[in-house]
Amino acid sequence: MRRRLINSTLAVVLVVIAVFGVSLVIVETRTISSSAQDRIESDALRLVGVVESDVLEKKPVDTAALAELLENGKYARITIPGQPAVEVGDRIDESVIRGTARGEQGEVVVVEEARSTVTREVVRTLAVVGAVALLAVVAAVLLAVRQANRLASPLTDLAETAERLGSGDPRPRHKRYGVPELDRVADVLDSSAERIGRMLTAERRLAADASHQLRTPLTALSMRLEEITVTDDLETVREEATIALTQVERLTDVVQRLLTNSRDPRTGSAVPFDLDEVVKQQEEEWRPAYRSAGRAIVRSGKQGVRAVGTPGAVSQVLATLVENALMHGGGTVALRTRVIGNQAVLEVTDEGPGVPPDLGNRIFERAISGRNSTGIGLAVARDLAEADGGRLELLQAQPPVFALFLSRTAPERADPETTVR
């Protein structure tokens, strides 16, 4: 591409130089020749004036005075009726430019100059024109090289950027080149890189969230199935199977919720529900695990509280808090429900060491963990709470008190009849 740009620019310059240079040479040659002819005729008129003055005064022609009026290299021949011809200067044996003037007394003055003087002047003019043309060609080549580099280098960069996008590196370069068309392409590539980066981040986030959020339901389901395999009591098998089916439904809801949040984290399907049922369900599901760890899980607080949210999402948030208390806390875990104004509050606390002071509310950030854990559980739990219009907060670090705030009033929905079309 560089070579084509240079060649095309140079071709244009050469054509311009050829057209205007040849025209200039022709015009200058004619001008120089015409100027030389006018100069010779002017010399002849000046000499005939002097000769005529001498003739009128009946004096002999003063050749010395005429020689002073004539430039070196020129030759003059003066003819006066009744007198011999007078010559001034040396004869010229080559091609000449001749100028003739006649006086009122019949005097004739012929002035000659070698045509080679005109030729030398034309050659000097051609040399000047050629030098200017050469400078123009050099300047055109330098400009073409600069423009070629200015256009080719950005295209190479853009090709490398596109190749990086294709190889899975979505980092935008934010590099511009001062050429509107190329900058537009760079803008599109950077926008594409940002979109690809967001999609990759969402995919990685979905994979991480899924691995974390599915682990707890699968663990609980595995425990129920183990209970079924070790018992011979048909009633116990039915009870455990019923609970297992409920957990499968919750697991399906978790998967659906993860997929929905991966498309739009703000999407929620909040409905009024009985908060006591969710708390009771989680208490029953986690009691065997706490019993195995030699600990207890209890619930207290206001009964009959109704909240607005997605029951599956609230269950998942509560399961995350209870699991964290089991893994990182100590002593008895308490689940407490209360009402503050128009909000239902579900608190989870334990008797363990709590959240390290250097973490604080940063505990909800992804990849932030006080101990050996994935560091995404609380982050996902907060996202689930916010998707339903609630919020998850750390009210107290030591002993730890996590609180889930949910609205008690369903959000108003737009009336289809009053929707602006």
- Distance (Å, whole) CA 273 – CA 313: 12
CA dihedral defined by 162, 167, 173, 174, rounded to 10 degrees?
Answer: 50
Residues 323 and 388 in one domain: yes
Are 285 and 397 contained in the same domain? yes
The pLDDT of 72-98, averaged and rounded, is 84
Vertex 270 angle, CA 268 and 272, to 5°: 175
**Over 60: is that where the pLDDT of 172 sits?**
yes
CATH of the domain at 376: 3.30.565.10
pLDDT at 344 over 90: yes
The total number of structural domains in the chain stands at 3
Token code pair at residue 204 = 């990685």
- Whether 241 and 184 have beta carbons less than 8 Å apart is answered as no
375 inside domain: yes
8 and 54 belong to one structural domain: yes
Identify whether residues 189 and 117 lie together within a single domain.
no
Kindly state the percentage of the chain with pLDDT values over 90. Answer: 10
Residue 146 lies in a domain: no
Dihedral Cα 172, 177, 180, 184, nearest 10 deg: -10
Model confidence band, residue 415 (pLDDT cutoffs 50, 70, 90): very low
Residue 388 binned pLDDT confidence (cut-offs 50, 70, 90)? confident
Same domain, 49 and 126: yes
- Give me the pLDDT at residue 374, please: 47
> How confident is the model at residue 40, as a pLDDT?
87
| Chain length of the chain | 421
Closest-CA residue to 121 (of 132, 129, 109): 129
Q: Are residues 272 and 133 in the same domain?
A: no
pLDDT of residue 416: 41
The reply to whether 215 falls in a domain is no
Residue 224 lies in a domain: no
Strand partners, 101: 109
Q: Does some domain include residue 330?
A: yes
Kindly report the CA angle at 295 between 332 and 381, in degrees rounded to 5?
65
* 112 and 194 both lie in a single domain: no
Q: What is the pLDDT of residues 191-237, one digit of tens each?
A: 888 887 777 776 766 666 666 666 666 776 777 777 778 777 788 77
pLDDT at position 420: 38
Given this model, what pLDDT does residue 269 score?
A: 62
Torsion angle of alpha carbons 44, 49, 55, 57, nearest 10°?
Answer: -160
Q: Share the mean pLDDT of the chain.
A: 80
In a shared domain, residues 134 and 42: yes
pLDDT of residue 412: 54
Domain hosting 326: range is 268-421
Task: Give yes or no: residues 106 and 192 share one domain.
Answer: no
Q: What is the pLDDT of residue 30?
A: 87
Residues 132 and 174 in one domain: no
What does the pLDDT read at residue 118? Answer: 83
Average pLDDT, integer, range 270-283: 88
Query: pLDDT for 37-74, tens place per residue?
Result: 888 888 888 888 888 887 777 788 777 888 888 888 88
* pLDDT band at 295; cut points 50, 70, 90: very high
- CATH label of the domain that carries residue 53: 3.30.450.250
Q: Which two tokens stand for residue 361?
A: 């509310």
| 372 is a domain residue | yes
Residue 354: pLDDT band (50, 70, 90) is: confident
Contacts of 337 (CB under 8 A, 6+ apart): 275, 276, 279, 299, 300, 301, 302, 303, 305, 344, 345, 346, 347
- What span, in angstroms and rounded, lies between the C-alpha atoms of 180 and 186? 10
Which pLDDT score is estimated for 323? 87
What pTM was estimated for this model as a whole?
Answer: 0.47
Assess if residue 214 is contained within a domain: no
Considering the domain architecture, whether residues 102 and 15 belong to the same structural domain is answered as yes
Q: Residue 234: inside a domain, yes or no?
A: no
d(C-alpha 87, C-alpha 248), whole Å: 132
Question: What is the structure's pLDDT at 403?
Answer: 94
SS (H, E, C) the chain: CHHHHHHHHHHHHHHHHHHHHHHHHHHHHHHHHHHHHHHHHHHHHHHHHHHHHHHHCCCCCCHHHHHHHCCCCEEEEEECCCCCCEEECCCCCCCEEEEEEECCCCCEEEEEEEHHHHHHHHHHHHHHHHHHHHHHHHHHHHHHHHHHHHHHHHHHHHHHHHHHHHCCCCCCCCCCCCCHHHHHHHHHHHHHHHHHHHHHHHHHHHHHHHHHHHHHHHHHHHHHHHHHHHCCCHHHHHHHHHHHHHHHHHHHHHHHHHHHHHHCCCCCCCEEEEHHHHHHHHHHHHHHHHHHCCCCEEEEECCCCEEEECHHHHHHHHHHHHHHHHHHCCCCEEEEEEEECCEEEEEEECCCCCCCCCCHHHHHCCCCCCCCCCCCHHHHHHHHHHHCCCEEEEEECCCCEEEEEEECCCCCCCCHHHCCC
Assess contact for 111 and 78: CB atoms under 8 A.
Answer: no
| Pair 62, 192 in one domain | no
